[in-house]
Amino acid sequence: MSESKLRHDWSRDEIEALFDLPFNDLLFQAQTVHRENFDPNKVQVSTLLSIKTGSCSEDCGYCSQSAKHNTDLEKEKLLPVDEVIKAASEAKDKGATRFCMGAAWRNPTDKNLERVIEMITAVHDLGMETCVTLGMLTEPQAKRLKEAGLDYYNHNLDTSPEFYGNVISTRTFQDRLETLKYVRDQEINVCSGGILGMGESRRDRASMLRELVNLPKHPESVPINMLVQVEGTPIFGVDELDPFEFIRTIAVTRILMPESYVRLSAGRTEMNDQMQALCFMAGANSMFYGERLLTTDNPEADADVKLFKRLGIEFEAANELQATEKECSSKRERRLAEEFGAAQQA
């Protein structure tokens, strides 16, 4: 792995300059960075399950689960633990190493949090990593999740601070940053990225990535989603994003955050095999696997297996994932020690 210093001081203009590179030059740079830090032919696989669907009080303009939108989504209460265990077992049998659970809440109550913790414990007992996305957290709730042994917390920034008000009004951009801080303060791995194709500009995409890369510590996982348009949501009907712009965003993310897993997330059903192959070439090395992502479709598992076989890509095994994460952690510790020593000498 590369021992290059990670940066947390990127300007928006610098990031836009990466976006502006000729496509081949950008992909070459991203692939070079990727190979310095990861096996280019291994992809980490996660499965995502909606454990509580619909009736969310937020007004996120892209989301079918908002109670404020008329999307005809069938609402479901919090799933029983045994159903979650069954789904996690099936995901593990198909090659997933991490099981992610999402609940459509603005923020969980302490009572609901304890029920989710039962699920976290049960999935851990299967030998899988755990990730949850539950909305905003309080500081004590983040601490409780740490005590329960949670591996990852997902809380996307969604878009840039400048464009954010065009998408969501029921919580602020700063609210999202506060939840990420509470999670990071508890040393829970952070999973945070955004959604492309909501009508934002390239400058907005650069601004969103600037917010992520300039956090005190880069997110361990960065999901990049392509908007899945849902009839009945305010963003339905927006012009579709150029596929090459999506691939460029994957490549820029890889260059900015060399040691993070870059996840190819929602929207893969709208991508042909060639586009997905270019995303992996641009530095994506994580994806969701399974037929559903919360409430949206995802490519069938067999289709992914066939694509990987054609590309010579393999699923990253659990032991390989742990080894990669351990090596990245050791690198960060060595880097901090070197920087501290240099500061002492100065």
146-167 confidence digits (pLDDT tens): 999 999 999 999 999 999 989 8
Per annotation, catalytic residue among 171, 176, 254, 263: 263
C-alpha distance from residue 236 to each of 22, 52, 88, 203, 245 (Å) = 31, 23, 32, 22, 20
pLDDT digits (tens, 9 = 90+) for 215-249: 999 999 999 999 987 777 778 888 899 999 999 99
* Arithmetic mean of pLDDT, 39-43: 93
pLDDT tens-digit map of 186-195:
999 999 999 9
Stated as kind and residue range, the H or E segment containing 213 is helix 202-213
Structure token pair of residue 200: 């934002």
How many other C-beta atoms lie within 10 A of the C-beta of residue 58?
Answer: 20
Mean pLDDT of the chain: 84
pLDDT band at 11 (very low <50, low <70, confident <90, very high): very high
What does the angle CA 270 – CA 274 – CA 279 come to, to the nearest 5 degrees?
Answer: 80
Q: What is the pLDDT of residue 1?
A: 40
Q: Is the pLDDT of residue 141 over 60?
A: yes
Q: Which amino acid is at 129?
A: E
Is 263 part of the annotated catalytic residue set?
yes
Mean pLDDT of 38-63: 80
Position with higher pLDDT, 49 vs 278 = 278
Residue 340 confidence (pLDDT): 45
**How confident is residue 269, by pLDDT bands cut at 50, 70 and 90?**
confident
Q: Is 328 a catalytic residue?
A: no
Q: What is the pLDDT of residue 313?
A: 92
Residue 224 main-chain phi, psi, to 5 deg:
-110, 115
Assess whether pLDDT exceeds 80 at residue 289.
Answer: no
Q: Which residues lie across from 76 on neighbouring strands?
A: 53
> Per the residue annotation, which of 98, 100, 210, 328 is the catalytic one?
100
Which secondary structure element, helix H or strand E, spans residue 116, and what is its range? helix 110-125
Q: Is 35 marked active-site?
A: no
297 vs 214, more confident: 214
Q: Residues 290-343: pLDDT tens digits? A: 554 444 545 566 788 888 899 999 988 755 544 454 555 555 555 545 554 554
If we measure between CA atoms, which residue out of 211, 181, 201, 274 comes closest to residue 241? 201
The active-site residue, picked from 63, 98, 171, 176, is: 63
pLDDT at 45: 85
- Cα–Cα dist 201/189, whole Å: 29
pTM metric for this prediction: 0.83
Name the pLDDT band for 66 (thresholds 50, 70, 90). Answer: low
What percent of the chain is modeled with pLDDT above 90?
Answer: 55
Give helix 23-37 / helix 273-281 axis angle, nearest 10°: 60
- The yes-or-no answer on residue 332 being catalytic is no
Residue in 171, 184, 191, 210 annotated catalytic: 191
Which is the catalytic residue, given 60, 184, 279, 328? 60
pLDDT at 16 over 50: yes
Measured from the Cβ of residue 41, the count of other Cβ atoms closer than 10 Å reads: 13
Judge whether 106 counts as a catalytic residue: no
Higher-confidence residue: 92 or 203?
203
Distance CA 82, CA 311 (A): 36
pLDDT of residue 65: 64
